[in-house]
Every structure is written in structure tokens, then in C-alpha cells.
Structure 1
């Protein structure tokens, strides 16, 4: 009786396989774009100054491709969020049309999650909370929102155990945090699609959390080098 020979074990293929540029170049381009207020053309220019000729469209594609992969690789090193969530919506232009961005931070400044939505309604709020709960596996004991009429019904449905807090100025932490996002988006010359907006805004949240120390990454490096070290470690994981 013949037996089928066992297939040799092969390591999983790197996410960087098939790309013309080495992973170090791709990762530093993504890192710069997420960390600093740079356009894709700015990153192109910085790379050219270092002897690497890359078109800004390629930089854009790298950011879209690798930002979700890097953030996903980091999820097991993320600190558990706090139990008090501040939730609010801001807005951005996507291809000339206003889009709403649902965001939440906890009492320690960790960005819980973000969601780009064409509408500001109960369905969007419901999707935001369900997405955050399924991703983090943590249920808050208190949720602070503005006085939007949709929140009481949605929270009673999705997080019935949480105390819903509405009070003037109570939501200042998330409202102040929106300014960080707006500052980052300003040099980008617009967002073209909802998917692009979701990746960029989620990537900004990921970078904020890295810089604020909400991941067990880069801890052995000096403070000024921790984010760069974190990106190096995450690149090896994907």
C-alpha cells in the first residue's frame, strides 16, 4: 500500500512578498505617513532625498495595504481599554461629500474605535458600538455621549448594563480628541473613497494609541524610538 508523502512545512508567506521594494522601505513610508502631517507627495520627496525613488501613488497604495495589517498584528499587544467611554461624531469630506466619523476614547485617552458612515442615525451608532464590542471583547460600565436622540435607544439595545451619561461638558475628552484627527487630515488634499477614509482614520487612531503607550510594543527602546521599534517588530509579524 502506497502512502502519500507528508508535505514539508513551509513558513507563511510574508505580506511583503512580491513587492519590488524591501519591507524596510515600505514600513518607514507607512510609519511616516501615519505619524506626521505629511501628504503622500511629502513622503515621496523624503524617500527620494534618501535615494529611494517611489511615486506618491505607490506610497498611497502601501498605506492602504499595510496599515490594517500592522494594526491587526498589534491587537494582541493592545492594553485592555477602560470602562468609561466617551463617544461622539465628527465629520470629514470624502470626495466632496460630508461623511460622519464615529469615535470613542476611554478615560485614559485610548481610542476605542472609529467608523466612517454616510449617515448619522441609529443604524450607524448601532454598527459602531457592535463593532467596538466585538473587536475589544470589553463592555463599558459607563458611556458618555452628547444629547443626540438616537443614543438612549441604541445603548439600551446594545449595552443595556452601561450607565448612559449626558451632561454639559462631560464629553469634552472626545471632542478635544477630534482636533487631533482634523489636524492630521488637513495636509492630505482630500479623501477619495469611504474605504480610504476608514483606513486612514483607523490608522491615525492606531498611531495615537501607540504614541500614548496603549500597546506592549517598543518598550525596550528609548521613548523617542518606541514607535519606530514597534513598526519594525510588527513588520516581522506580517
Structure 2
């Protein structure tokens, strides 16, 4: 039931109180704060357990930031997806600057692929960072070239809407990374739940991961 509650929180547009109610309907009395703690404690472990099963990212990346309020202040979430729709990495940051962009690309490159092309918006920090970290890659920043990731942001923002605001950066990063894991499993970017009906792939994958955490 604990893994089920975490999966619900990462997959569906539910608040922690919504999950508390769904668990109560199944005979499990749990406070919504406990549900929050399950998500914070288990999501990093699930991501780590899934890592060996992950497909290598593609070689064309689309990078952008979205804005979310954390403790009443606007914060930034750097995200990258490849040409196949795999979310490569996410990074929550209090600032949108050169240092944050560098941290994000260092993390993303640790996923095991150096892209041949990176598409961004026209933020002035990107050319310098890409010249430093990916001098061989083609940098694209034309109008509407980044629509792929801007559309992908919307799915994450829809997931956050019922949560009525996040209170801590750590929570923001955890939920963001967990949502990316769920999206990637559902899109077939992990060797998890591969023999299942696509509608049941996520449930099967979390059952497999539960044995490893």
C-alpha cells in the first residue's frame, strides 16, 4: 500500500489529502503528512533502483525552465527531454543564472550521453555554458524550436496544481524527479513492466521496483 500511495502521488493530479482519503476507502488510516513523508523518503530510492533499467538518452536535447512557487516564492525548474520524449533530468533552483544552468548540464551529462544538438530558448546564459561543456554540439535557439519541452512542462504543472503550493525546495526536487521517473516509465524508456499492457506498465514497474527498495 505504501508503494501504491507513492505511485498515486507521482502519477496523478492528487493532493496528499486526496491520497489519504483513497487509502481510507481501502481500510488504511494514514495521515496526509505520513503520505508526504513516504513520497520524500521512497522516491529517491525508487529512482536509484530503476537506474540500471533506464534507456540511454537520445542525442538531441530540448532544454528549458519552468516556474513554480515554493514557500510563496517563484523558483525555477530546469528540465531536458530528448527527441524520443525521455525526460533526461530535472533540477530545482532558487535562481535562473549561469551557475544554475551549469549545475543542470553537469547533472544531465552524467546520464551517459553527450548530445550532438541542444535546443534552448534565447536566455543569454546558454551559449557560454554550452561552449564550455558541449563545444562540439550544435546549439539551436530559434523561435518555436523548443515547443517540444514547453508542451512537456504542462504535464508537470498540471500534476502540481492540486498540491496548493510546495513548502520546501527538497520536496520540489523530489516530486519533480519522481514525476520524471513516472513519465519515462509510461513512455517506455525503462526496461520495467515491458511485458504488461501499456495501461498497466506503471503499476507493474512499481511492483518490480518495490522488491528492490
1:91 alignment partner, one of 48, 67, 72? 67
Tell me the TM-score normalised to structure 1 length. Answer: 0.88
2:134 alignment counterpart: 159
Matched, 1:82 2:55: no
Structure 1 residue ranges without an equivalent (≥5): 1-24
CA contact (8 A) 2:57 2:112 kept: no
Question: SS of the counterpart of 1:74?
Answer: helix
Q: Please report how far the alpha carbon of residue 222 of structure 1 lies from its aligned counterpart in structure 2 after TM superposition.
A: 1.8
- 2:24 alignment partner in structure 1: 48
For 2:198 and 2:118, the matched residues in 1 are separated by 32
Spell out, residue by residue over 1:30-60, the C-alpha distance to the aligned partner (whole angstroms, 9 max, x if none). 0111111111000110000011111100000
**Deviations 1:118-165 (Å, cap 9, x if unpaired)?**
11111000000001112x121000000011111000001111111111
Match for 1:139 among 72, 91, 114?
A: 114
The aligned counterpart of 1:149 is 124
Counterparts of 1:222 and 1:49 in 2: how far apart (Å)? 26
1:3 matched residue in structure 2: none
Q: How does 1:28-43 map to 2 (within 5 A)?
A: 28-43=4-19
Moved more, 101-110 or 214-223: 214-223
**Matches of 1:29 and 1:128, distance apart in 2:** 29
Runs of 4+ residues over 3 Å off in structure 1: none
Does the CA-based 8 Å contact 2:19-2:35 persist in structure 1? yes
Show CA shifts across 1:46-86 (max 9, x none): 00001111110000000000011101100110111110000
SS in 2 for 1:153: helix
- Checking the alignment, whether the CA contact within 8 Å between 2:78 and 2:91 is kept in structure 1 is yes
* 1:72-110 deviation line (CA, Å, top 9, x unaligned): 100110111110000011110000001011001100111
- Superposition RMSD on alpha carbons, in Å? 0.7
- 2:195 matches 1:215: no
* Paired position in structure 2 for 1:65: 41
CA distance in 2, matches of 1:219, 1:178: 26
Matches within 5 A, 1:115-126: 115-126=91-102
Which residues in structure 2 correspond to 1:3-14 (within 5 Å)?
none
Query: For 1:87 and 1:222, how far apart are their aligned partners in 2?
Result: 31
- Residue ranges of structure 2 left out of the alignment (5+ in a row): none
Residue by residue, what CA displacement relative to the aligned partner does 1:164-201 show, whole Å, maximum 9, x if unpaired? 11111111001111111110000001101111100011
Greater C-alpha radius of gyration: 1
TM-score, reference length from structure 2:
0.98
Q: Does 1:105 align with 2:81?
A: yes
SS in 2 for 1:82: coil
